């Protein structure tokens, strides 16, 4: 049955908010006009002049299943995604077992079909068990449904291993997605090697451990012709290297997280492990370089690196607690409030970074609100303020440094394939 979403505000080509109606049928958008007349057999939903955006796409999410169901499951993680306005997410492979074989990928695809609330694109590992010793069967994993290849959670330490992985991925026209970290330069640190680390007597992680891997890998990407994508960039050096690589015509893309855009190591208040993530919060100068890189197109889009952990794990303290924070349910409100409302970027730019740009980068069907597109979109209240309260999260993970922040821009309804998968007040 067709559904008409009436009195919605959407962005026109000039980035202006205009009042419009949107009609969907058969999982697709079939009409967009200032006023669409409803027939007897059609359902009408009054959006009450709230903002409608294309469904957000997050290519960096940790769903933890299989093996880490105490932290998150495909069901809880995708519900969190829906609540945050994300209609397509890509699941990282650092699970137990790792999706490093055709059999394991087929199991994961079936589990996604059975339990996911939104679209899930599963990554396959680059190396067997993500151990960095033996390459996976790239062709078999692509055939089984792999979205791309990554060992995210760890960096590929061997240049030869990465070179040969890129050769195989390029032959299959598949991306290599990299967590960039030279383990010989991390010093087993827990925060950035800066003022906070020194003040608290902690071992710091130098910026160069990330940048040196990116510098190596862009040259390997140039040599192989592979699409090379850099995960969660955090340093000014990384931005500089990617900018120069793009200028040289190398096929490299990059992402940045909301927390690296909005926080730096000066913002860490205490030894609170909810501020512990990898890569760590860097300096104010790094934070500004990331914002500038996003604005000038060096960084292609925003991804959350949603990484849920239990309260018990995060209570172990800054040194022992695992890296990572959750981000799916707070990404848009935080970015809208602290970037758009403060004039750092426009609403159109933010929506593009969360929807259109990741879709273009990875050739995903989605990311736009237009006739013929998939009926994947999110309805957002741009005006009501709400406090970030981890206890209300759909995710099992409550580990966020943003608890207590007051934001506007909260999703109220998420539609995937023409079906309402989440609606405020109907959880």
pLDDT at site 56: 98
Residue 362: pLDDT above 80? yes
* Residues 22 and 41 both lie in one domain: yes
* Residues 65 and 209 both lie in one domain: yes
**What is the sign, positive or negative, of the torsion defined by CA atoms of 59, 117, 113, 130?**
positive
* Residues 27 and 45 both lie in one domain: yes
Please give the average per-residue pLDDT across 334-338, as a whole number.
98
* Residues 66 and 46 both lie in one domain: no
* Residues 296 and 310 both lie in one domain: yes
Length, in residues, of the chain: 427
The owner of tokens 């130098």 is: 206
Q: Using 50, 70 and 90 to split pLDDT, how confident is the model at 425?
A: confident
Please give the average per-residue pLDDT across 151-168, as a whole number.
96
Read off φ and ψ for residue 238, nearest 5 degrees: -60, -45
Instruction: Give me 47's structure tokens.
Output: 């959006």
Burial class (CB in 10 A: 0-12, 13-18, 19+), 246: middle
* CATH, residue 9: 2.30.40.10
Domain that holds residue 202: 55-370
**Across the chain, which distance is largest between two alpha carbons, in Å?**
70
300 is in an annotated binding site: no
Please give the average per-residue pLDDT across 291-302, as a whole number.
98
Least confident of 139-143, 158-162, 423-427: 423-427
Please give the average per-residue pLDDT across 155-159, as a whole number.
96
* Residues 196 and 342 both lie in one domain: yes
* Residues 386 and 324 both lie in one domain: no
Residue 121: pLDDT above 90? yes
| From 58, 193, 300, 305, active-site residue | 305
Q: What's the alpha-carbon Rg for the chain, to the nearest Å?
A: 21
305 is in an annotated binding site: yes
pLDDT at site 152: 86
Q: Using 50, 70 and 90 to split pLDDT, how confident is the model at 6?
A: very high
* CATH, residue 272: 3.20.20.140
94 is in an annotated binding site: yes
Domain count, the chain: 2
113 is in an annotated binding site: no
Q: What is the pTM of this model?
A: 0.97
In three state form, how does the secondary structure of the chain look?
CCEEEEEEEEECCCCCEEEEEEEEECCEEEEEECCCCCCCCCEEEECCCCEEEECEEEEEECCCCCCCCCCCCHHHHHHHHHHCCEEEEEECCCCCCCCCCHHHHHHHHHHHHHHCCCEEEECECCEHHHCCCCECCHHHHHHHCCCCEECCCCCCCCHHHHHHHHHHHHHCCCCEEECCCCHHHCCCCCEECCHHHHHHCCCEECCHHHHHHHHHHHHHHHHHCCCEEECCCCCHHHHHHHHHHHHCCCCEEEEECHHHHHCCHHHCCCCCHHHCCCCCCCCHHHHHHHHHHHHCCCCCEECCCECCCCHHHHCCCCCCCCCCECCCCCHHHHHHHHHHCCCCCCHHHHHHHHHHHHHHHHCCCCCCCCCCCECCEEEEECCCCEECCHHHCCCCCCCCCCCCCEECCEEEEEEECCEEEEECCCC
Query: Is residue 305 annotated as a catalytic residue, yes or no?
Result: yes
Q: How far apart are CA 255 and CA 155, in angstroms?
A: 16
pLDDT in tens, 50-92: 999 999 999 999 999 999 999 999 999 999 999 999 999 999 9
Strand 86-91 to strand 119-122: parallel, antiparallel, or no bridges (unpaired)?
parallel
Residue 223: pLDDT above 80? yes
Q: Using 50, 70 and 90 to split pLDDT, how confident is the model at 148?
A: very high
Please give the average per-residue pLDDT across 397-405, as a whole number.
98
Give percent of the chain with pLDDT exceeding 90: 97
Give percent of the chain with pLDDT exceeding 70: 100
* Residues 132 and 23 both lie in one domain: no
Q: Using 50, 70 and 90 to split pLDDT, how confident is the model at 427?
A: confident
62 is in an annotated binding site: yes
Query: What b-and-e string marks burial along 82-91, b requiring 16 or more CB atoms within 10 Å of the CB?
Result: bbbbbbbbbb
Please give the average per-residue pLDDT across 278-301, as a whole number.
98
pLDDT at site 229: 98
* Residues 75 and 152 both lie in one domain: yes
* Residues 83 and 151 both lie in one domain: yes
Please give the average per-residue pLDDT across 358-379, as a whole number.
97
323 is in an annotated binding site: yes
pLDDT at site 248: 98
From 370, 386, 407, give the residue that closes a domain. Answer: 370
Burial class (CB in 10 A: 0-12, 13-18, 19+), 2: middle
pLDDT at site 122: 98
Residue 405: pLDDT above 80? yes
* Residues 133 and 239 both lie in one domain: yes
Q: Using 50, 70 and 90 to split pLDDT, how confident is the model at 153?
A: confident
* Residues 155 and 14 both lie in one domain: no
Query: What b-and-e string marks burial along 344-361, b requiring 16 or more CB atoms within 10 Å of the CB?
Result: ebebbbbbbbbbbbbbeb
pLDDT at site 253: 98
Residue 292: pLDDT above 80? yes
229 is in an annotated binding site: no
pLDDT in tens, 188-216: 999 999 999 999 999 999 999 999 999 99
């Amino acid at each position: 049955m067709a559904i008409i979403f009436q009195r919605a505000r959407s962005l026109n080509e000039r980035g202006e908010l205009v009042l419009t109606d949107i009609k969907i049928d058969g999982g697709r958008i079939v009409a967009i006009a200032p006023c669409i007349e409803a027939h007897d057999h059609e359902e009408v939903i009054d959006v009450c002049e709230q903002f409608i955006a294309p469904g957000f796409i997050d290519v960096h999410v940790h769903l933890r299943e299989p093996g880490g169901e105490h932290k998150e499951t495909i069901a809880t993680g995708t519900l969190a995604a829906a609540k945050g306005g994300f209609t397509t997410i890509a699941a990282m492979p650092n699970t137990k077992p790792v999706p490093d074989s055709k059999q394991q990928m087929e199991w994961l695809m079936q589990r996604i079909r059975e339990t996911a609330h939104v679209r899930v694109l599963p990554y396959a590992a680059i190396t067997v068990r993500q151990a960095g010793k033996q390459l996976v069967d790239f062709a078999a994993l692509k055939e089984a449904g792999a979205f791309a290849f990554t060992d995210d959670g760890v960096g590929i330490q061997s240049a030869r291993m990465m070179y040969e992985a890129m050769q195989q991925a390029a032959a299959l026209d598949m991306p290599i997605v990299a967590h960039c970290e030279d383990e010989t330069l991390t010093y087993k640190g827990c925060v950035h090697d800066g003022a906070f680390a020194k003040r608290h007597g902690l071992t710091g992680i130098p910026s160069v451990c990330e940048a040196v891997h990116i510098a190596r890998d862009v040259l390997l990407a140039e040599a192989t012709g592979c699409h090379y994508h850099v995960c969660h960039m955090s340093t000014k050096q990384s931005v500089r290297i990617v900018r120069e690589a793009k200028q040289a015509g190398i096929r490299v893309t990059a992402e940045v997280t909301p927390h690296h855009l909005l926080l730096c190591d000066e913002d860490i208040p205490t030894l609170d492990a909810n501020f512990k993530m990898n890569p760590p919060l860097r300096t104010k100068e790094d934070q500004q370089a990331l914002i500038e890189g996003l604005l000038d197109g060096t960084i292609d889009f925003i991804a959350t690196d949603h990484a849920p952990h239990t309260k018990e794990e995060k209570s172990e303290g800054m040194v022992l607690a695992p890296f990572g924070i959750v981000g799916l349910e707070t990404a848009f409100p935080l970015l809208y409030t602290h970037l758009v409302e403060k004039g750092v970027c426009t609403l159109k730019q933010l929506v593009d970074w969360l929807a259109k740009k990741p879709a273009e980068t990875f050739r995903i069907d989605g990311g736009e609100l237009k006739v013929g597109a998939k009926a994947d979109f999110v309805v957002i209240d741009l005006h009501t303020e709400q406090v970030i309260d981890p206890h209300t999260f759909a995710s099992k993970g409550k580990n966020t440094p943003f608890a207590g922040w007051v934001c506007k821009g909260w999703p109220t309804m998420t539609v995937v394939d023409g079906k309402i998968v989440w609606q405020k007040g109907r959880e």
